[in-house]
C-alpha cells in the first residue's frame, strides 16, 4: 500500500487542499525528503525537473514556519528566474491559505512599490530572485535576521547564471542556525562548495538516475539547413497540441514567432527582453491552448512549468548537455510521454556528436522523419533505439554516410582516428600532392595530433576544435584544387598518408621545390610533399618565391633542406610552433 502525505507527517490543514486538488500520493522525491525536512534536518536533493520538488520543500516549510513581522520574513526561497519564482508561488498559495500564511514573490522587471507595500504589512514566505532581493535589502525595505528556513531551488542553474556570489551574500545575512534545503539537477562544482559552507550534516536524497531530466522522452536529431528548419517547425507544431521551441537569442525567438504566424501557427515568444506582463500573457496563452507554440530562450527555460507539453524543439542547439537537459525537461514530465527534436546544421555536427556521446545517445543524426514521432522512433537517454529513424545514421565526420560510429582506437597499421583532424575524401582518391590514398590519419612518421604548425596553418572551428586550414566545400569535404583570383590553379597538396614523410628528402618535412635560378625559397608548409599552394613571383636575378604547402596531415615540421640547382639557393623552414620573425630582405629583391 502506497503512502499518503498524512503518513509522511504533513498536517491535516495542508493535506486537505492537496486532496481537493487531486493530489493524494507523494512522488518519490517528496516521500524521501518530507520526513527528514519535518524533523528539522538540512536536505541536499537531486531530482529531475517535473519530479515534484516544489511540494518536497514547500510542505515542510508551510508546516513549520511561524508568522512574520513587518519587514521581517520567516522563510526564504531563492529562485534563478522570475517564471520559476511565480510558479512556486502559484503552487504553494492554495496550500498556504489553510494556515493563513502570506506569500510574496520578489523579482526584477516590475515596480518596487507593490513589493515594498507587502513587506511593510508583513510576509511569512518570501520567494525571490537574488538581484531584486539584494536591491530591497540595500534600500532598507527588509531584513533576513528572522529567517529560519531557507530553500535554494535549481542551485545548478543559479551557478550557470552567475548568481552564486549573490546567493552566498544572502545566506550570510541569515542566522547560522537556520534550516537549509538545497535542490539541484547536479550536485558538483559550485553546488558542492555551497553545501559544504552553508549546510550542516545534510541528508542526501537522489531521485531520477544520472540527472537526466527527460528520462521518458524520445530524442531525435535531424539534419536540416536554412529555411527548411522553419517549414519543419511548422509541421512538427501542427502535429502536436503543445510544442515548446528553444532559440539561442531573444531576437531569434521574436523572429521565429513572427515567421510561424505567417505560416498559420499561433505562437508566442517569451524571454528576458520582454516585460513581465508580456511574459505572463505569453505563458497564459500557451497554458490555455490559445497558442500552439511557445518560443523561448534558455533564461526562461527553468520557469516554464506547463503540464502536457508534447514536444520540445531545439531550433538552435544548446550550449552544453546541461542546457539540453534543462530544455528537454519541459516534456515527458512525471512519467508522461514526449518527444525532443533537435535541428542540426552542417557546422553543428561535431558538437552534436559530442553531446550525444555525453548523454549516451547512439543513433546519430538522421534525415527528418515525421513518422518517427508517431511510431516510437527516436531514442531514450542512455539506451540504444530499437527502431532507427528514416535516413541513414550520420555518425561520420561529414554528417552523412554509412552510419558507422567513429572508432577512437588504433588498428594494426598504426592508423588512429581523430575527430579533430582534417577530413579525407570518402572515395579514397589520392589528393593532389601524392601520399597514400585513403590514409588521412596519423602514422608513425607523420603525427596528426597537431604538434607543429601552430603558428601558420592550424586554426580553430566554431566549436573550439583545431583544424587544418584548407579549402572545403559546404559539407566540409576537402577540395582537391581551386583557382585564386588571378586565375592561377592552386592545389591543396601535401602528403596525406603514412608514407608521406618518408617520401620526402627531409625526414620530417616536405622537399622544397627547386628554383630555376638564383634566389631564395621559403617553405611554410606542413605536408609531406611540396605541391601545396604556391605563388610564383619572378625577379630580375632569378626566381624567388614562397611555398605555402598545406598537406592534409598538417603536422610535420619543415626542416632546413638545401637545393642543389643554382648558386646560393637555400630553403628555410618556417613552420615550427614558435614562428620565427622574418629578417629584413637584403640585396636586390624586387620580386618580393
- State the SS3 of 165-229: HHHHHHHHCCCCCCEEEEEECCCCCHHHHHHHHHCCCCEEEECCCCCCCCCCCEEEEEECCCCHH
Distance, CA of 243 to CA of 339 (rounded, Å): 10
Tell me: the pLDDT tens digits for 309-326?
999 999 999 988 888 988
**Quick one: average pLDDT of 386-409?**
40
**Span 218-373: which CATH code?**
3.40.50.300
Fold of domain 12-206: Rossmann fold (3.40.50)
Percentage of residues in the chain with pLDDT exceeding 90? 45
Per-residue pLDDT tens digits for 32-60: 999 999 999 999 998 876 778 999 999 99
> Contacts for 194-201 with beta carbons within 8 Å, 24 or more apart?
194/152, 194/155, 194/164, 194/167, 194/168, 195/44, 197/168, 198/168, 198/171, 199/42, 199/44, 200/42, 201/41, 201/42
Q: Three-state DSSP class for 509? A: coil
**Residue of 478 and 102 predicted with greater confidence:** 102
Q: For residue 537, give the C-alpha cell.
A: 613571383
Bridge partners (DSSP) listed for residue 205: 45
Domain ranges of the chain: 12-206, 218-373, 413-453+464-579
- pLDDT range class, residue 303, cuts 50, 70, 90: low
Above 70 in pLDDT, residue 557? Answer: no
For residues 390 and 403, the answer to whether their CB atoms sit within 8 Å is: no
Using an 8 Å Cβ cutoff, are 321 and 207 in contact?
A: no
**DSSP code of 59?**
H
12-206 and 218-373: identical CATH topology = yes
Query: Taking 50 as the threshold, does the pLDDT of residue 406 lie above it?
Result: no
Q: What is the pLDDT of residue 549?
A: 39
> Quick check: 269 and 336 in contact, CB under 8 A?
no
Residue (of 334, 251, 253, 324) closest to 293 by Cα position: 253
As a whole number, mean pLDDT of residues 424-437 equals 41
Question: What is the reported pLDDT for 346?
Answer: 93
Amino acid at each position: 500500500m502506497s503512502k499518503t502525505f498524512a503518513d509522511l507527517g504533513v498536517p491535516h490543514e495542508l493535506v486537505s487542499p492537496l486532496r481537493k486538488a487531486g493530489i493524494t500520493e507523494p512522488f518519490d522525491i517528496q516521500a524521501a525528503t518530507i520526513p527528514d525536512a519535518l524533523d528539522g534536518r538540512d536536505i541536499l536533493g537531486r531530482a529531475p525537473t517535473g519530479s515534484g520538488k516544489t511540494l518536497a520543500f514547500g510542505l515542510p516549510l508551510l508546516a513549520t514556519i511561524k508568522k512574520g513581522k513587518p519587514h521581517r520574513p520567516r522563510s526564504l526561497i531563492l529562485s534563478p528566474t522570475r517564471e520559476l519564482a511565480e510558479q512556486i508561488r502559484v503552487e504553494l498559495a492554495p496550500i498556504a491559505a489553510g494556515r493563513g500564511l502570506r506569500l510574496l514573490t520578489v523579482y526584477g522587471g516590475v515596480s518596487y512599490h507593490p513589493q515594498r507595500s507587502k513587506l511593510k504589512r508583513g510576509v511569512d514566505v518570501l520567494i525571490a530572485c537574488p538581484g531584486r532581493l539584494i536591491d530591497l535589502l540595500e534600500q532598507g525595505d527588509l531584513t533576513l535576521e528572522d529567517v529560519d528556513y531557507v530553500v535554494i531551488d535549481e542551485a545548478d542553474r543559479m551557478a550557470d547564471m552567475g548568481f552564486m556570489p549573490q546567493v552566498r551574500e544572502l545566506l550570510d545575512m541569515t542566522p547560522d542556525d537556520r534550516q537549509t534545503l538545497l535542490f539541484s539537477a547536479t550536485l558538483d562544482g559550485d553546488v558542492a562548495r555551497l553545501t559544504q559552507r552553508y549546510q550542516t550534516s545534510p541528508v542526501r536524497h537522489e531521485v531520477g538516475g544520472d540527472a537526466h531530466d527527460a528520462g521518458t522522452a524520445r530524442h531525435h536529431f535531424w539534419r536540416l539547413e536554412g529555411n527548411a528548419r522553419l517549414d519543419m517547425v511548422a509541421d512538427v507544431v501542427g502535429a502536436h497540441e503543445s510544442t515548446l521551441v528553444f532559440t539561442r537569442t531573444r531576437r531569434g525567438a521574436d523572429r521565429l514567432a513572427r515567421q510561424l504566424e505567417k505560416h498559420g501557427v499561433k505562437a508566442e515568444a517569451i524571454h528576458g527582453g520582454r516585460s513581465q506582463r508580456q511574459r505572463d500573457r505569453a505563458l497564459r496563452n500557451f497554458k490555455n491552448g490559445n497558442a500552439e507554440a511557445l518560443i523561448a530562450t534558455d533564461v526562461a527555460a527553468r520557469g516554464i512549468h506547463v503540464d502536457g507539453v508534447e514536444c520540445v524543439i531545439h531550433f538552435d542547439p544548446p550550449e552544453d548537455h546541461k542546457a539540453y537537459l534543462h530544455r528537454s525537461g519541459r516534456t515527458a514530465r512525471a512519467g508522461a510521454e514526449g518527444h525532443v527534436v533537435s535541428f542540426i546544421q552542417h557546422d553543428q555536427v561535431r558538437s552534436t556528436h559530442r553531446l550525444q556521446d555525453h548523454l549516451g545517445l547512439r543513433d546519430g543524426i538522421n534525415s527528418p522523419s515525421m513518422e518517427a514521432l508517431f511510431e516510437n522512433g527516436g531514442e531514450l537517454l542512455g539506451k540504444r533505439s530499437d527502431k532507427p529513424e528514416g535516413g541513414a545514421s550520420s555518425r561520420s565526420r561529414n554528417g552523412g554516410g554509412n552510419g558507422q560510429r567513429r572508432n577512437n582506437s588504433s588498428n594494426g597499421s598504426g592508423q588512429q582516428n581523430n575527430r579533430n583532424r582534417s577530413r579525407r575524401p570518402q572515395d579514397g582518391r589520392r589528393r593532389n600532392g601524392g601520399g597514400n590514398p585513403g590514409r588521412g590519419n596519423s602514422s608513425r612518421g607523420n603525427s596528426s595530433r597537431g604538434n607543429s604548425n601552430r603558428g601558420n596553418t592550424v586554426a580553430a572551428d566554431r566549436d573550439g576544435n583545431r583544424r587544418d586550414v584548407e579549402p572545403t566545400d559546404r559539407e566540409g569535404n576537402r577540395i582537391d584544387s581551386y583557382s585564386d583570383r588571378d586565375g592561377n590553379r592552386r592545389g591543396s597538396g601535401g602528403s596525406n598518408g603514412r608514407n608521406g614523410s618518408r617520401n620526402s628528402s627531409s625526414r620530417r618535412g616536405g622537399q622544397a621545390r627547386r628554383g630555376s635560378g638564383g634566389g631564395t625559397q621559403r617553405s611554410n608548409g606542413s605536408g609531406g610533399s611540396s605541391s601545396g599552394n604556391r605563388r610564383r613571383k619572378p625577379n630580375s636575378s632569378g626566381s624567388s618565391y614562397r611555398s605555402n604547402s598545406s598537406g592534409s596531415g598538417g603536422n610535420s615540421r619543415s626542416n632546413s633542406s638545401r637545393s642543389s640547382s643554382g648558386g646560393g639557393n637555400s630553403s628555410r623552414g618556417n613552420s615550427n610552433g614558435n614562428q620565427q620573425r622574418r629578417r629584413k630582405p637584403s640585396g636586390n629583391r624586387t620580386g618580393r
